[in-house]
Amino acid sequence: MKKFTTVADMGPLDKAVAEALEVKRNRFAWQSLGRNYTLLMIFFNSSLRTRLSTQKAAMNLGMNVIVLDVNQGAWKLETERGVIMDGDKAEHLLEAIPVMGSYCDIIGVRSFASLKDKAEDYEERVINQFIKYSGRPVFSMEAATGHPLQSFADLITIEEHKTKPVPKVVMTWAPHPRALPQAVPNSFVQWMVAAGYDVTVTHPEGYELDEAFTRGAKIEYDQDRALAGADFVYAKNWSAYADPNYGKILSTSREWTVDATKMAFTDNAYFMHCLPVRRGMIVTDDVIEGPRSLVIPEAANREISAQTVIKRMLESIQDGRNG
């Protein structure tokens, strides 16, 4: 595996889940695979789960790990080509990327959408520059339009808990006080459709996601109807994708908050969220703390999804050196 930014990079999902569950059963079995290899994790944005789970995953594989918070102590980076660098940005990404690549064997990048320029966000300029110029395998730790490590962890979690071959999985928009990117919902729908589940997306009008990600899912504007018979409910906020409202908040209606009344429409569904979550906005205390909440196992599986991806990258590097 040379890059990991989308579900297509993963290959057949049944094999990926089987491999992940093998990793989970014996996460220290590949300690020698990563010996003397270095993972560089680069954060342009904040993180709790991704940082800890990915570092732990690399340590399970015997790797060395370097973490760089670009906004804390590094030179401010210019990402545009052709600009006169007479402002506060002291270094260009086009020099910084190959330099960073020279200190490591694999790179993980977190770089969120700006939500100001849709074309720039959806061309994934930052992570694609790392793929092009670092000379190293690169994986997304959440980019502008996708969060595949999260979706892989979500898939593993659903496979561990489902009781029917094709569960009904409902992703519902829920309110949030700040404008959030579409990365998590984009990836989640794409991965769940690719897994062959019965997928429904529900949101207020105006919150339609990019069809490139939702193709194969049903769209239902009535949340109660969408939740009927659900086996898994995945709550998430996102800002508007469609023009002219890209990146805007169109509603903060708490009628969309997932509470016990909403969960009663489901088939005793499990509740899921990628975290961090705003209680009282996205979900009520009783639902997230209840016996059907999977938010902690989901987060724990982030270690497994990251380890499976990094393991595949190490195997590719070593195959290339031995082949």
Contact residues toward ligand CP (CB under 6 A) are 47-50, 142, 150, 274-276
Give the nearer residue to ligand CP in terms of CB position, either 78 or 239: 239
Minimum distance from residue 212 beta carbon to ligand CP (Å) = 22
Cβ proximity to ligand CP, 77 vs 274, nearer residue? 274
Q: Least CB distance from residue 273 to ligand CP, whole Å?
A: 9
Two structure tokens written together for 80: 């545009």
Give whichever of 101 and 181 is closer to ligand CP, judged by the CB atom: 181
For ligand CP, the closer CB: 78 or 154: 154
Among 264, 209, 254, 195, smallest CA distance to 233 is for 264
Cβ 20 to ligand CP, closest distance in Å?
A: 17
Q: Which residue has the tokens 């996102």?
A: 238
Q: How many CA atoms lie within 13 A of 35 on its CB side?
A: 6
3-state helix, strand and coil shares in percent for the chain, rounded to the nearest 5: 40, 15, 45
Closer to ligand CP by CB, 98 or 276: give it: 276
CA of residue 185 relative to chain centroid, distance: 9
Read off the amino acid at residue 308: T
Quick check: 39 and 64 in contact, CB under 8 A? yes
Closest-by-Cβ residue to ligand CP is 50
CB of 243 to ligand CP, least distance (A): 27
State in angstroms the smallest separation of the CB of 308 from ligand CP: 16
CB 157 within 8 A of CB 301: yes
Q: By C-beta, is 217 or 274 nearer to ligand CP?
A: 274
- Tell the smallest beta-carbon distance from residue 55 to ligand CP (Å): 11
Residue 78 or 142: the one with the smaller Cβ distance to ligand CP is 142
- Cα dist from 258 to 43, 46, 222, whole Å: 31, 26, 13
- Write out the DSSP string of 166-203: S-EEEEEE---SS---SHHHHHHHHHHHHTT-EEEEE-
Minimum distance, C-beta of residue 301 to ligand CP, in the bound complex (Å): 11
What whole-number distance in Å separates Cα of residue 21 and Cα of residue 292? Answer: 21
